[in-house]
Amino acid sequence: MWESERAARTTPALWVPILLGLAIAFAQVSLVAAVWDACRIDGATGLTASSLYALGVPALTFLNWLLLALPAEVYMSKRTPALNRWAMTILTSSVLIAAETLVLAYYVATPAEPVSTRCVDNVPDWWPSQIPV
């Protein structure tokens, strides 16, 4: 079997992490937009919702692609059973994306300086208390 055929069967296609990264980026930007809309933070930052999507989605798509593709590249090259490779890739990517989303929620969605008079500490009422911000 040729090496390129083997590599094509064992590594995921390039478009899979790009599409997943794009979908996750839309969800992350929607979270930030919802918090900003609930607390009326967008006026204080100078960004509108459309500019938030225009700036955030491409940048987060690239970052999410890296966070999805790098674990796939690392674990898919190992000589372990296929189930273990996929499980470690999915677990590692999920942890990295969750950590990125928490950092995004902490630093971007809820600014440190009080810019909102509607929300206490720039955190909306509907935000789950189990997730610290």
List of residues 6+ apart from 119 with CB closer than 8 A: 38, 39, 125
Look at residue 60 in the predicted model and tell me its pLDDT. 93
Residue 62 Cα to chain centre, angstroms: 10
Nearest C-alpha neighbor of 36 from the set 59, 20, 22, 53: 53
pLDDT (tens digit per residue) in 40-73: 776 666 777 788 899 899 999 999 998 888 887 7
pLDDT (tens digit per residue) in 11-42: 556 778 888 999 999 999 998 888 888 887 76
Residue 46, phi-psi category: left (phi > 0), alpha (psi -120 to 50), beta (remainder) = left
Do the Cβ atoms of 17 and 65 come closer than 8 Å?
A: yes
List of residues 6+ apart from 21 with CB closer than 8 A: 60, 61, 62, 63, 64, 65, 67, 68
